[in-house]
């Protein structure tokens, strides 16, 4: 009999005599509701695709009956309908394999978001004032058709531009198709954390203009150069599932970076490397660069490089991954190429435990945002992208958009970009419409699914609206399907080819493997003396590039490394901060040549002393009740440095200085869920209980 039982027994024997009711209180006294009276609801599961990133995870939605207030033809009413309740990974989907990341779990909140736009609207106030009046779909389509007809009449079809996300699939194909047949130029894609430079390098090295798929499950040695492949980079769920399988063995995972990201936190060894020199380390390990020179440039010790080289060559299958910050330098192409060389040296390309390239759908030709900004169109169609938020201020995206005479937004929310729209024709949520994806990774075939539930609002699927507009043009485009559903389900000859790439499939050509790219020093904006810190913005685990800041679950889910919720923060090396007399929560001003932002300090033991890091995601000025005026946007101080070969933003190439401008506040602007950062806090400084 242990202590608690003793207390229980004495208490019970003491009281049960008087009360006669208690026997074994655990089981008898408490049966408020007999278990048989609890009847779980009946649910059906319907498949769909997570729309939040380009990974294209297959999901299943739990659908249960419920009473929903819906809008039909401008009328509100309550009807009983199937409602999606929960998203899970689809066990039969080769990408998600029954699993889902935190962001994917929260995708359902898009459908039920209280600030979702429920009907077409037309601007009624000044542009950007946020004043809109409700209109009918007929009016909206008439208006849009009219604008397009006017372009056609002026033989100015090229002045129509379509700005969308770079998501491979039938949706983008349809858009490109329609644009081409209308006479406009290809769609423009915009993405902050673009991997275009890696695709370019893969094109040069392997002849594949796409991102690789890593066979982590069979790898025994993984070296990652800044790739947050378990958190935000590339196909996270697929990679995490494989990582979990890999961890059933005894692999070694080495992470090279200047900041301990969530992925780096899982590494068996963390190698600190000067930003922009990771490629040299890769080349040195591959044996194609002098170890001494590499040690000097990268700041990684000679002995470490030699040991890594030995381990990499002896503990295969080995694979090297690069992604994220190391690619966002002016020498990004070199960096990517150098890691490709390392993979070639490992001889695992196309082999188990290495990297492969999925046979993917034909790539739709797209244009870059830069092209759009240089020659503003006369009619711009915005498809749920927010370049005003995700572009450095020097690109002057908002100013360029203000010069566009007519902007139509298909997105479901008002954000910084769609607030400039003249006409809003809201899309269904992904659960209410036909969806498809052609993931770049894995062994995934194209997937396509019908709607999970009936629409809540008076919205329409954007591809359907486009088809309807196209059909109603003065010069109609012939031979169009009636709906996106027909388009998605129409067989296409080129799809009959093999969709699955078995593990071990060879890249199509390795002819360019002898190509060499010369090392160039990464260029930074801001000189070292005045701006002593590297600025490392990174994709927020929850809010990604800011496009998910409107989802309350993601706002309140703690960031894995800091446990921060609902806020922005500036990460500073813990010891460096002590030197600068900066305490956790102190308000820090981060200044670059482009401007400055203020946010509370988080003292991070896992960040290089000469760097400050900030998560991207917050700092929206206009993005639903959950994100508006919350925190600051680090992109707003990024210098407009681009990678020369691709024209994409080199978001790691800004240098900053910092200054403490305020003390910690009682109800902090730094909202942390967790307390101490260390399991055995050091009380000798009297600082152990900081939180």
Partner 1 sequence: MNRTLTKPFTDDMVRPVMSTTVWFWAIVLATGTVVASGAAAWGYQLWYGIGLSGKRWPGFWALYLTNFVFWIGISHAGTLISAILRLVNAGWRRPVTRVAEVITVFALMIGAMFPIIHLGRPWLAFWLFPYPSAREIWPNFRSPLAWDFFAINTYLTGSVLFLLLPMIPDFALVRDRSTGWRRKFYGALSFGWRGTTRQWNRLESAMQIMAIAILPVAVSVHTIVSFDFSMANVPMWHSTIFGPYFVAGAIFSGIAALILAMAALRKALHLEKYLLPLHFENLGKLLLLMSILWGYFVFNERLTVWYGNEHHEMAVFWATQRGQYAPLYWTMVICNFIIPIALLSNPYTRNIIGCVVASFGVVIGMWLERFLIIVPSLAHKALPYSWGTYTPTPVELMIMAATFAAMILLYALFAKFVPIIAIWEMKAGDFAHAPRQGLAAADPHRIDAAAPASPEAAS
Partner 2 sequence: MPFRWGMAIDLNACTGCEACVTACHAENNIPTVSAEQASRGRAMHWIRVERYYEGNFPDVRVKFRPVLCQQCDNAPCEAVCPTYAAHHNEDGLNAQVYNRCIGTRYCANACPYNVRFFNFFNAEWPKPLHLQLNPDVSVREVGVMEKCTFCVQRIKAAKTAARAEHRALVDGALQPACAQACPTSAIVFGDLNDPDSRVARLARSPRGTRLLEDLGAEPKITYLQKQPWHEPDAY
Interface with partner 1 (CB under 8 A): 7-8, 11-12, 14-15, 19, 21-22, 25, 29-30, 32, 563, 666, 674-676, 678-681, 683, 686, 688-689, 691
Q: How far is the CB of 113 from partner 2 (least distance, A)?
A: 7
Least distance in angstroms from the C-beta of 21 to partner 1: 5
**Residue 100 contact partner, candidates partner 2, partner 1, none, CB within 5 to 8 A by sort of partner:** partner 2
DSSP class of 444:
-
Q: How far is the CB of 605 from partner 2 (least distance, A)?
A: 4
Q: What sign has the CA pseudo-torsion 56, 62, 67, 73? A: positive
Partner that binds at residue 644, options partner 2, partner 1, none, CB closer than 5 to 8 Å by kind: none
* Closest to partner 2 by CB, 213 or 555: 555
Q: How far is the CB of 24 from partner 2 (least distance, A)?
A: 10
Q: In Å, what is the CA distance from 26 to each residue of 10, 19, 316?
A: 15, 16, 55
Smallest CA-to-CA distance from 87 within 237, 222, 291, 231 is with 237
Of the pair 15, 131, the CB lying nearest partner 1 is at 15
The distance of closest approach from Cβ of residue 681 to partner 1 in the complex, given in angstroms and rounded to an integer, is 6
284/292 Cα distance (integer angstroms): 9
First and final C-alpha spacing in the chain? 41
Binding site partner of 263, from partner 1, partner 2, none, Cβ cut-off 5-8 A by kind: partner 2
Question: Of 362 and 675, which has the nearer Cβ to partner 1?
Answer: 675
> Considering beta carbons, is residue 491 or 663 the nearer one to partner 1?
663
As measured in angstroms, the least distance from the Cβ of 101 to partner 1 is 22
Q: Which does 66 bind (CB under 5 to 8 A by kind): partner 1, partner 2, none?
A: partner 2
Half-sphere exposure in the Cβ direction for 636 (13 Å, CA): 18
CA distances from 461 to 119, 313, 433, 446, 492 (A): 12, 52, 6, 20, 22
**Torsion region of 553: left, alpha or beta (phi above 0 gives left; psi -120 to 50 gives alpha):** alpha
The entry of partner 2, partner 1, none near residue 85 (CB within 5 to 8 angstroms by kind) is: partner 2
How far apart are the C-alpha atoms of 313 and 307, rounded to whole Å?
A: 10
Q: What is the DSSP letter of 65?
A: E
Distance CA 23, CA 664 (A): 55
Cis, peptide link before residue 317, omega less than 30° from 0: yes
**CA-to-CA distance for 524 and 331, rounded, in angstroms?**
11
- State the binding partner of 686 from partner 1, partner 2, none, CB within 5 to 8 A by kind: partner 1
**Distance in angstroms (rounded) separating the CA atoms of residues 362 and 348:** 26
We find the least distance from the C-beta atom of residue 601 to partner 1, in angstroms, to be 17
Which residues, in sequence order, are bridge partners of residue 58? 49
Q: How far is the CB of 378 from partner 1 (least distance, A)?
A: 53
**560: which 2 tokens?**
């894995």
Minimum distance, C-beta of residue 377 to partner 2, in the bound complex (Å): 35
* E strand segments, 465-555: 533-539
- If contact means CB under 5 to 8 A according to the sort of partner, which of partner 2, partner 1, none does residue 14 touch? partner 1
Integer Cα distance of 639 and 650 in angstroms: 9
Question: Which does residue 607 bind out of partner 1, partner 2, none, counting CB within 5 to 8 angstroms by kind?
Answer: partner 2
Cα torsion through 407, 413, 415, 421, rounded to 10 = 10
Distance of closest approach, residue 632 Cβ to partner 1, in angstroms: 25
Q: Which is nearer to partner 1, 463 or 600 (CB)?
A: 600
Taking the least distance from each CB to partner 1, the nearer of 29 and 659 is 29
Pick one of partner 2, partner 1, none as the site partner of residue 22 (Cβ within 5 to 8 A by kind). Answer: partner 1
Q: CB neighbours of 374 closer than 8 A, spacing ≥ 6?
A: none
Q: Which helix (H) or strand (E) holds 295?
A: helix 291-298
Are 503 and 242 in contact by the 8 Å Cβ rule? The answer is: no
CA-to-CA distance for 614 and 453, rounded, in angstroms? 38
Alpha-carbon span 439 to 400, nearest angstrom: 32
Residue 12 binding target from partner 1, partner 2, none, CB below 5 to 8 Å by type: partner 1
Choose between 74 and 675: whose C-beta lies nearer to partner 1: 675
Q: Which does 89 bind (CB under 5 to 8 A by kind): partner 1, partner 2, none?
A: partner 2
Least separation in angstroms between residue 561's CB and partner 1 is 12
């Amino acid at each position: 009999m242990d202590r608690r039982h003793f207390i229980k027994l004495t208490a019970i024997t003491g009281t049960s005599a008087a009360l006669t009711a208690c026997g074994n209180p655990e089981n008898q006294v408490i049966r408020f509701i007999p278990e048989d009276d609890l009847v779980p609801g009946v649910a059906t599961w319907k498949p769909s695709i997570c729309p939040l990133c380009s990974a294209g995870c297959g999901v299943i939605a739990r659908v249960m009956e419920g009473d929903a207030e819906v809008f039909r033809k401008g009328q509100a009413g309550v009807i009983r309908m199937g409602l999606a309740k929960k998203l899970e990974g689809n066990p039969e989907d080769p990408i998600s394999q029954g699993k889902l990341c935190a962001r994917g779990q929260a995708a359902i909140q898009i459908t039920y978001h209280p600030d979702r736009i429920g009907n077409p609207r037309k601007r009624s106030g000044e542009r950007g004032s946020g004043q809109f009046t409700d209109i009918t779909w007929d009016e909206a389509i008439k208006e849009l058709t009219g604008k397009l007809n006017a372009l056609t009449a002026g033989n100015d079809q090229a002045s129509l531009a379509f700005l969308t996300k770079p998501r491979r699939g039938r949706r983008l194909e349809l858009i490109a198709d329609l644009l081409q047949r209308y006479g406009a130029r290809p769609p423009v894609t915009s993405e902050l954390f673009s991997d275009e430079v890696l695709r370019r390098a893969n094109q040069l090295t392997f002849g594949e203009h796409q991102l690789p798929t890593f066979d982590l499950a069979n790898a025994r040695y993984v070296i990652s150069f800044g790739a947050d492949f378990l958190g935000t980079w590339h196909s996270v769920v697929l990679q995490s599932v494989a990582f979990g399988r890999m961890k059933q063995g005894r692999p070694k995972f080495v992470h090279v970076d200047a900041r301990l990201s969530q992925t780096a936190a899982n590494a068996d060894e963390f190698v600190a490397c000067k930003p922009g020199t990771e490629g040299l380390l890769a080349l040195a390990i591959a044996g194609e660069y002098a170890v001494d020179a590499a040690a000097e440039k990268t700041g990684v010790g000679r002995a470490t490089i030699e040991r890594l080289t030995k381990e990499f060559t002896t503990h295969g299958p080995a694979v090297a991954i690069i992604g994220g910050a190391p690619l966002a330098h002016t020498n990004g192409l070199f960096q990517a190429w150098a890691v490709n060389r390392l993979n070639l040296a490992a001889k695992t390309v196309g082999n188990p435990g290495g990297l492969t390239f999925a046979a993917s759908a034909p790539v739709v030709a797209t244009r870059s945002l830069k092209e759009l900004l240089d020659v503003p169109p006369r009619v711009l169609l915005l498809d749920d992208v927010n370049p005003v938020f995700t572009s450095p201020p020097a690109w002057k995206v908002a100013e360029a958009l203000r010069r566009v005479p007519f902007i139509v937004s298909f997105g479901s929310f008002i954000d910084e970009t769609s607030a400039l729209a003249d006409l809003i024709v809201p899309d269904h949520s992904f659960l209410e419409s036909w969806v498809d994806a052609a993931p770049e990774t894995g062994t995934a075939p194209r997937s396509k699914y019908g709607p999970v539930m009936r629409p809540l609002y008076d919205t329409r699927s954007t591809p359907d609206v486009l088809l309807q507009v196209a059909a109603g043009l003065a010069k109609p485009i012939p031979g169009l399907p009636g709906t996106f559903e027909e388009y998605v389900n129409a067989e296409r000859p080129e799809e009959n080819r093999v969709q699955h790439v078995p593990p071990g499939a060879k890249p199509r050509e390795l002819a360019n493997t002898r190509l060499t790219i010369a090392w160039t020093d990464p260029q930074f904006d801001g000189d070292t003396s005045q701006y002593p810190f590297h600025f490392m913005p990174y994709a927020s685990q929850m809010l990604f590039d800011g496009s998910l800041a409107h989802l309350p679950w993601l706002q309140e889910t703690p960031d894995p490394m800091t446990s921060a919720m609902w806020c922005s923060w500036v990460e500073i090396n813990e010891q460096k901060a002590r030197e600068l007399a900066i305490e956790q929560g102190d308000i820090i001003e981060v200044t670059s040549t482009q401007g400055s932002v203020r946010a509370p300090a988080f003292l991070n033991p896992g960040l290089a002393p000469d760097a400050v890091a900030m998560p991207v995601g917050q700092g929206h000025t206009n993005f639903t009740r959950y994100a508006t005026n919350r925190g600051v946007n680090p992109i707003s101080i990024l210098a407009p440095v681009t990678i020369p070969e691709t024209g994409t933003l080199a978001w790691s190439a800004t240098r900053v200085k910092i200054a403490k401008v305020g003390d910690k506040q009682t109800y902090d602007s730094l909202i942390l869920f967790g307390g101490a950062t260390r399991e055995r806090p050091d009380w000798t400084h009297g600082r152990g209980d900081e939180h």
